[in-house]
Each structure stands twice: as C-alpha cells, then as structure tokens.
Amino acid sequence: MSSSPLTTQEQACISMKFLSKMSLRYQETCAWYRKWVVENPDVVSQVEKTFRVLSYCITGFTDNGQILSEFVYALSNLLVFFNDSILRRASASLSPKISLSQDRLRRWLTILDHVEVFFELASKQVWGETGKWIVIAAIQLLRTIFRLVLLCRLKSGIQSSPPIPNLNRKNLPPVQREPSADAEVDGDLTMAPFPLGPDQPQSLTFEGRRSGRVVRSLHATPDIGLRTWKLPQTEQPSRIEEDLGMTELAGISLMGETLYISRPLIHLSSLFVWGWSSWKPWLLSIAADTISLKMMQRDEKSKLNSKEKSELHNRKMMLLFYLLRSPCYNTVTRTRLKSLLQSVGGTVPGARLLTKPILEYLPVWQKIYSYNWGN
C-alpha cells in the first residue's frame, strides 16, 4: 500500500523541527569556535597570517587575480576583526566603554574599510568604469555620514582608520581553565574568559614568606605550549589602551576633524569638476589635510590622550602618500621612484627579488590605492 501524502500541518512540523535542529547545531558550532579562539589565540593568528600571505601569492596567476587577491585579503581582515571581537567580549577589561550606537557605527565603518577596495574592483569588472565610480562615491558618502554622526552627535572625538584597530594579542591576559561540573566523568575543562580582573591583581603571583621570591601562581599558568619564564603583568597594556577615554572636541578642533572627515567628498567632487589631469583636486585634498591638522594642533599638546596623539601623528605621516596620488605621481614621483628601485635592485645583493615585483605591480597599486581614503 502506498503511504498517504503528508498534510500541510505535518510538513510544517517537519520543517520546524529541521530548522530548530539546524539552529541548535549552528549555536553549538559558534560556541565551540568562540571557545577555541579564546583558548588558542596564537594558532588563530597563524591561520589569519596564512590567509593574508595567500592573498599576496595569488596576484597575477589568473586574469582576475587582482580581484581574487583583494577578495582573500578582505576575508583575512574580516576574520581578524571577527576573532578580535570574540577576544574583546571574552574579557571585560578589553571591551570598549562606549554606547551601543557608537559600537555599531564603528563596527560598520571598520567592515567598510576592509571591503572597500574589493567592492571597487568588483564593480569595475561588472559595471565598468562608470559603475566603479558610482560605488566609490556611495562608499565615501556612507562613510562620511557615519563619521559625522559619531563626531557631532555621539561625541566620539578623533577617529582612527579603521575605527576599531586590530587587537594587540601579545598582551592578552592568560586563559584560566576550571574543571566543569562533570569533569570527573569526561575530563572536560571549561574556559573562564580572562578572569584576572582589576580587583584581583595579587592573585597572579605568589611571594614566598622566607625567600621573598615571586613566582607565578598555579591558576595563572597558561597552556604548556605558551608558557614563558616571565611573570604575568598585573595591569595589562591592552587594557590600558582600551580604557583611554575619547576627548570631546569643540570649536576649532571640531571644525578641523569635520574638515578631515569631509576630505574624500571634497576630492571626489573636485575630480568630477576638473578631471584627473588637473592639479586642483590634488591641491584641495592636501590643503584640507594640512589645514585640519593645523586646526587641531592646539589640543594636541594639552587635551588629547596618547592614542589620539598617535592618530594625529599617523595623519601627518600619511601626507607623504600624496606623492603617489595623481597627477603628482605621473609628473614628479614616478620616474624618480622607478630610478631609485632600479638602482637599489642593481647594487644591493638580493634586493632585486623585492624591487622587481614592486616595479611590476606599482602601476596597478597606484591606480587602485592612490584615491582610496579608507586606510
């Protein structure tokens, strides 16, 4: 006898059971991955570096090698960002003390910085040169709006690029492992994420009563593969960096940061009016950068913290990047840079292995990154 067909209610019940099972499997997988990342930050870093090196190696192997390379590079950056988020959540001392709105906007801006170049190359491949510039304009407009909201409404102060930098994993607190409730049965260990809080700094070490010698306590001992002879720090540098509060800007400094945020739109608008061959877009852009730094110079020595001062220093160094922007690169920098690389490759033993690929890919890199404002 043939079985009767399932009713609509039975089919819906089966579908719900399947979705519930898949959702449970997904949650278990995510929980396992989060635990693995927190317990093995060094292994995670090696995997991330492998992805990044792979992005460099695949350039030039296929016709769309540059797009594929940027895709893998964007994935590696997103992987680092995702794993850093897991490590930050695992420790209250590494979690930024900001509002939920600030955190969300900073996350979206960071993701946008990581995928920007890939979107531009992919849009050019699909829609041509016009489509590429439409995507560029949309990305820069969205980035400018987000940054202005952070600056003017949420009072986020000076913003770095990307807004959420990579976590310094060398200074991560040690992982504490404690036996679970059923540890005697299956021998499992559960991970307590970064339990060394600010109210228990003395629990990291033990001082002998007679000798006065300071040694690491047992519960602060990391995995055998990660152990060193150094004593754990009572105050982690990572935590100090994350706890630096943002300086609220006002007056001239606020105008300077607003000008800095608006410079990509100024550059794109001037390119649309005068074109690539004109020096006016280049001059307007470098003027906006220089004036914004000058307007913020007053607060740099007094109000800003070390993290914000470092960001302003990076902006000053990035002014050198204008040498690689057109038309300065086409008329001034290109011949001199090529002559320098050829001279180094011909005189320094082994330097040709480095200078030759740079000379080959320099025109491609200049066209892709010379107008990019994300990093």
Q: What is the pLDDT of residue 230?
A: 62
Above 80 in pLDDT, residue 93?
Answer: no
pLDDT of 55 over the 70 cut? yes
Does residue 2 have a pLDDT over 90? Answer: no
Using CA atoms in the order 341, 345, 348, 352, what is the torsion angle rounded to 10 degrees? Answer: 130
With H, G, I as helix, E, B as strand and everything else as coil, classify residue 176: strand
How many helices and strands (H and E) does the chain possess?
Answer: 13, 4
Select the more confidently predicted residue: 213 or 18: 18
Question: 190 has which bridge partners?
Answer: 178
Report the C-alpha gap between 172 and 292 in whole angstroms.
35
Q: Which pLDDT value is given to residue 79? A: 93
| Confidence band for 203, pLDDT divided at 50, 70 and 90 | low
Q: Which of 124, 156, 87, 136 is nearest to 311 (CA)?
A: 156
pLDDT value of residue 151: 92
What is the CA 200 to chain-centroid distance, rounded?
A: 31
Q: What is the mean pLDDT of residues 205-218?
A: 64
Q: What is the mean pLDDT of residues 222-238?
A: 54
Mean pLDDT, residues 264-268 taken together = 91
Cβ-based burial of 191 (10 A; exposed 0-12, middle 13-18, buried ≥19): middle
The predicted pLDDT at position 297 comes to 82
Residue 184: band (very low, low, confident or very high) from pLDDT cuts 50, 70, 90: very low
pLDDT computed for residue 227 by the predictor: 57
Range in 211-225, 256-270, 293-307, 308-322 the model is least confident about:
211-225
pLDDT for position 148: 94
Which pTM was predicted? 0.76
Alpha helices for 204-324 (secondary structure H) = 237-243, 252-274, 280-295, 297-300, 306-317
Instruction: Please list, residue by residue across 102-136, b when 16 or more beta carbons sit within 10 angstroms of its beta carbon and e when fewer do.
Output: beebbeebbbbbbbbbbbbbbbbeeeeeeebbebb
Measure the N-to-C terminal CA separation of the chain; round to a whole number of Å. Answer: 69
Q: Please state the φ and ψ torsions of residue 211, each to the nearest 5 degrees.
A: -80, -25
Percent of the chain with pLDDT over 90: 25
pLDDT at 223: 58
In the beta sheet, which residues pair with residue 178? 190
On average, the pLDDT of the chain sits at 79
The answer, yes or no, to whether residue 205 has pLDDT greater than 90, is no
Instruction: Say what percent of the chain tops pLDDT 70.
Output: 73
Distance CA 217, CA 203 (A): 7
The number of angstroms, rounded, from the C-alpha of 334 to the middle of its chain's C-alpha atoms is: 30
Asked whether the predicted pLDDT for residue 192 surpasses 50, the reply is no
Averaged pLDDT, 160-170: 84
Identify the sign of the CA torsion 116, 97, 248, 146: positive
Q: Is the pLDDT of residue 367 over 90?
A: no
Tell me: cis bond preceding 327? Omega within 30 of 0 counts: yes
User: Which of 269 and 202 is assigned the larger pLDDT?
Assistant: 269
State the pLDDT at residue 142: 94
- The pLDDT value given to residue 191: 41
pLDDT in tens, 4-53: 666 777 677 777 887 888 888 888 888 898 989 888 888 888 989 998 88
pLDDT at 354: 87
198 — pLDDT class (breaks 50, 70, 90): very low
- What is the token pair recorded at 105? 């906007």
**Range with the lowest mean pLDDT among 91-100, 187-196, 206-215, 349-358?**
187-196
